[in-house]
């Protein structure tokens, strides 16, 4: 069932079989792509996520907040009472406008900050602007990612390798470092890793390396920041139905059967993972740090 704006209406979904399963239509978008053009459109929780005031008064910065998992987290955080700033590429403005409207519909402050996080100066500006416009910062979600498949190391260019590491690893380092000037005791940092850190695919050589680096960064930084009362955790998604996949993240033959190999027989929808980020962000998880929480449809990777 579709709602009037084309977003899946998932209010009555109570079990796994209610979500779309492969085969999916042939579809390809130029990088970075738009979620609104996917078939089917991903469920980010637009109609399904119900908050319970777990993040009242919190102020969050989410990179990659226009679509996919970042969008689902932004919606969930707002419905839990948090003010939210999202970062995204300028080409993703159409998706971002929808997210900003959804955040504001909850009565929360919404800040849109487009820009390329492969640039260190922009990363520093991003954090400063988010903290200033939100009136503080106590939740940082390093979620933005670059994934472009390449079948052979012989064809993987230095330019592509560098772009993936700049987006997935360097930006996380730059943004986190800048955010520490604002994050108080009780703050939380949540990074988006991947099952690729543990079960890397042969055609995601550079991407899987960055996700392994994110896991190590999370565990090491958690120990470093523990004395300051700042928790650091990561979420490791398996196959999730996001625009990342059909804008170069996977070859088309894999898109059409995407998620079929998971025990649940389908890819996850972004709405199904947002609650993990909420749990890590909430004060109830005050003794949880340095952890990686996997959601992969039953494979049991972690």
Rounded distance between C-alpha atoms, residue 157 and residue 206, angstroms: 10
Rounded distance between C-alpha atoms, residue 148 and residue 88, angstroms: 17
Q: Among 19, 49, 198, 207, which one carries the catalytic annotation?
A: 207
Using alpha carbons, select from 37, 73, 43, 42 the residue that is nearest to residue 55. 73
The helix/strand/coil state of 200 is coil
Using alpha carbons, select from 18, 92, 83, 21 the residue that is nearest to residue 244. 92
Alpha carbon separation from 165 to 210, 244, 278, 295 (Å, rounded): 6, 16, 27, 23
The helix/strand/coil state of 1 is coil
Hey, how many other C-beta atoms are within 10 angstroms of the C-beta on 228? 13
Hey, how many other C-beta atoms are within 10 angstroms of the C-beta on 154? 6
What residues contact 116, with CB distance under 8 A and at least 6 apart?
89, 122
Hey, how many other C-beta atoms are within 10 angstroms of the C-beta on 200? 16
- Does the annotation count 182 as an active-site position? no
Enzyme catalytic residues: 207
């Amino acid at each position: 069932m579709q709602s009037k704006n084309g977003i899946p209406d998932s209010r009555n979904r109570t079990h796994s079989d209610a979500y779309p399963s492969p085969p999916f239509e042939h579809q390809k978008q130029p990088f970075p792509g738009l979620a609104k053009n996917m078939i089917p459109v991903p469920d980010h929780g637009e109609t399904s996520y119900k908050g319970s005031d777990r993040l009242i008064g919190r102020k969050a910065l989410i990179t990659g907040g226009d679509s996919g998992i970042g969008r689902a987290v932004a919606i969930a955080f707002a419905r839990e009472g948090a003010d939210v700033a999202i970062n995204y590429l300028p080409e993703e403005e159409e998706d971002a406008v929808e997210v900003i409207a959804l955040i504001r519909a909850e009565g929360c402050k919404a800040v849109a900050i487009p820009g390329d996080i492969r640039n260190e100066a922009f990363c520093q500006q991003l954090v400063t602007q988010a903290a200033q416009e939100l009136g503080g910062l106590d939740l940082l979600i390093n979620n933005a990612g670059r994934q472009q498949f390449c079948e052979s190391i012989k064809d993987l260019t230095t330019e592509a390798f560098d772009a993936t590491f700049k987006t997935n690893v360097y930006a996380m380092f730059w943004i986190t470092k800048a955010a520490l000037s604002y994050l108080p005791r009780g703050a939380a940092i949540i990074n988006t890793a991947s099952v690729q850190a543990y079960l890397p695919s042969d055609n995601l050589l550079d991407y899987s390396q960055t996700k392994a680096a994110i896991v190590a960064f999370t565990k090491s930084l958690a120990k470093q920041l523990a004395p300051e009362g700042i928790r650091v955790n990561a979420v490791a998604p398996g196959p999730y139905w996001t625009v990342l996949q059909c804008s170069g993240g996977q070859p088309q033959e894999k898109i059409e059967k995407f998620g079929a190999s998971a025990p649940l027989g389908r890819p996850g929808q972004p709405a199904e993972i947002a609650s993990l980020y909420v749990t890590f962000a909430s004060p109830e998880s005050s003794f949880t740090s340095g952890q990686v929480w996997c959601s992969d449809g039953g494979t049991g990777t972690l």
